[in-house]
């Protein structure tokens, strides 16, 4: 059985994950409660994948690398090799992830960004969606979902409220739409 790929992400009500300039202040300004299920999700994974833009954002906005105990892959065309926390991957994200899913291990967390997410949606590679909505309408920004996606049928597993956040936990139907 292949390893599951999890999307755990926050979005505005109108479907944006960031402003065009990567500003997330709207997210930080939202009154939450607890950690919105982050710890539970984080304990279920052993691998993190993200794009270079997301990686750069994480480095810029974190005092310490937030995922030091996980295997981290960063998809990029500009860097090669690895550092103490991540391995840079210079190949097709879909093909690499298909191979990764066949390896032994726990779930894989897709941290971001929108380009990788779009590629995974187009290939229906995400098994579990944990989307936390904030009470904001940005009007524009970086969309959670781009256009021209296949139909993907999901099952609602759970809903939770964390202060002003509302979280949907969905899984793809086993027959993969």
Residue 97 CA to residue 115 CA, distance in Å, equals: 14
Strand (E) or helix (H) holding 28 = helix 25-28
**Which CATH number among 3.40.430.10, 3.40.1280.10, 3.30.70.80, 3.30.300.30 corresponds to the domain 5-172?**
3.40.430.10
- Are 141 and 18 contacting, i.e. CB atoms less than 8 angstroms apart? yes
3-state secondary structure 4-49: CEEEEEEEECCCEEECCCCCCHHHHCCCCCCCCCHHHHHHCEEEEE
Place of tokens 């997330």: 24
Q: Between the CA of residue 74 and those of 50, 92, 148, what are the distances in Å?
A: 5, 12, 25
Res 1: pLDDT:
80
For the chain, the domains span: 5-172
Residue 70 CA to residue 156 CA, distance in Å, equals: 28
Res 72: pLDDT:
98
User: What are the pLDDT tens digits along the chain (177 aa)?
Assistant: 899 999 999 999 999 999 999 999 999 999 999 999 999 999 999 999 999 999 999 999 999 999 999 999 999 999 999 999 999 999 999 999 999 999 999 999 999 889 999 999 999 999 999 999 999 999 999 999 999 999 999 999 999 999 999 999 999 997 654
Q: Quote the pTM value.
A: 0.94
Res 174: pLDDT:
74
């Amino acid at each position: 059985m292949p390893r599951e790929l999890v999307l755990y992400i926050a979005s505005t009500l109108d479907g944006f994950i960031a402003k065009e300039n990567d500003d997330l202040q709207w997210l930080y300004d939202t009154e939450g409660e607890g950690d919105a299920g982050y710890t539970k999700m984080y304990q279920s994974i052993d691998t993190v994948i993200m794009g270079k833009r997301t990686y750069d954002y994480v480095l810029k906005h974190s005092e310490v690398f937030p995922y030091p105990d996980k295997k981290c892959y960063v998809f990029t065309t500009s860097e090669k090799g690895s550092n103490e926390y991540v391995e840079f991957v210079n190949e097709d994200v879909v093909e690499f992830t298909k191979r990764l899913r066949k390896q032994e291990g726990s779930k894989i967390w897709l941290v971001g960004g929108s380009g990788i997410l779009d590629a995974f949606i187009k290939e229906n590679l995400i098994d579990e969606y944990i989307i936390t909505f904030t009470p904001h309408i940005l009007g524009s920004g970086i969309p959670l979902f781009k256009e021209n996606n296949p139909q993907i049928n999901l099952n609602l597993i759970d809903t939770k409220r964390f202060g002003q956040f509302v979280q949907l936990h969905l899984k793809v139907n086993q027959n993969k739409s």
